[in-house]
Amino acid sequence: MDKSRLQHIINTDESVISIKGLYKSFEDLEVLKGIDFNLFKGENIAVLGKSGTGKSVLIKIIVGLLKPDEGEVYVLGQQVDKLNRKELDALRLRIGFSFQHSALYDSMNVYQNLAFPLTMNIKNLSKKEVNNAVDEVLDAVGLMDKLNQMPSDLSGGQKKRIGIARTLILKPEIMLYDEPTSGLDPITSTEVIALINEVQQQYNTSSIIITHDLTCAKNTGNRIAMMLDGQFLRIGKFEEVFDSNDEEVKGFFNYNFIQ
């Protein structure tokens, strides 16, 4: 997909996630050490970092599963750690989370997996409305023919796609992708990368893509945020981030593209 086609939908005057001075520790272990970060409306940011750098903790704070020790986290204009349970639940319905391992229910077929979050969260929908919503998201991920399949009959890439479809069915404003290409072969990874970009364009989502895969980051992120030891070492376009003599930056690039 031509990334330039995506630029016009990004509104740099409107932050959907705004983080200032974020710190988080677990006993003596400092995990986040002063994070400042904005995700703009319509933007994809790839948060790039090795395991243990704090990427998952950042996401958990954004959705209110963890509270910050210091700092402010605003999501869609609301300070997350100040929300009560009802307000937090309502906010989470506006955020889609695509899990690393898809998290499909093994006992449900594809239709049931997709319909479940819709019927659980929106009451009094007719059967036709549910069917139309399922058809729409299945068509968006290119798997209309898998409607009655069980998760065990799907490939890893198909499970990823169905997981994304299940997230899209509630029409979230923000998408959070957790290692979307992890464990996939190069061809399937390319298909999932294309799907992330298609979701951005078709649904006008704002997304954070957590990854250690430079190919995924380069091809999905309008900007890259490189995380190292609980801080953002560099934030910018791919070329800006990797135009550096910093040994940590060069080492990460070499690990992905040379080894």
Residue 143's DSSP bridge partners are none
Residue 229's DSSP bridge partners are none
92: which residues sit within 8 A by CB, 6+ positions away?
63, 64
- Same-domain check for residues 64 and 123: no
Give residue 192's identity as a one-letter amino acid code: V
Residue 55, pLDDT score:
86
> Could you report the per-residue pLDDT of 126-153, keeping only the tens digit for each?
999 999 999 999 999 999 999 999 999 9
- Same-domain check for residues 65 and 188: yes
53: which residues sit within 8 A by CB, 6+ positions away?
227, 228, 229, 230
- Same-domain check for residues 60 and 185: yes
- Same-domain check for residues 182 and 135: no
Tell me which residues of the chain have a pLDDT lower than 70: 1-9, 100-102, 251-259
- Same-domain check for residues 104 and 227: no
Q: What angle do CA 207, 199, 10 make, to 5 degrees?
A: 55
Strands 231-236 and 223-228: antiparallel
Residue 4, pLDDT score:
43
DSSP state of 173: S
Judge contact between 225 and 48, C-beta under 8 A.
yes
CATH number at residue 190: 3.40.50.300
Integer distance in angstroms from the first to the last C-alpha of the chain?
Answer: 27
* Residue 124: count of CB within 10 angstroms of its CB: 6
Residue 176's DSSP bridge partners are 97, 208
- Same-domain check for residues 132 and 180: no
Q: What angle do CA 171, 175, 179 make, to 5 degrees?
A: 140
The domain total for the chain is 2
- Same-domain check for residues 85 and 180: yes
- Same-domain check for residues 48 and 111: no
72: which residues sit within 8 A by CB, 6+ positions away?
18, 19, 20, 21, 22, 79
- Same-domain check for residues 151 and 192: no
- Same-domain check for residues 119 and 240: no
- Same-domain check for residues 86 and 184: yes
> Residue 28's domain spans which residues?
1-90+176-199+208-259
**Quick one: CA torsion of 138, 7, 178, 240, rounded to 10 degrees?**
150
The domain boundary residue, chosen from 154, 171, 188:
171
- 3-class secondary-structure state, position 61: helix
- Same-domain check for residues 86 and 37: yes
Residue 124, pLDDT score:
86
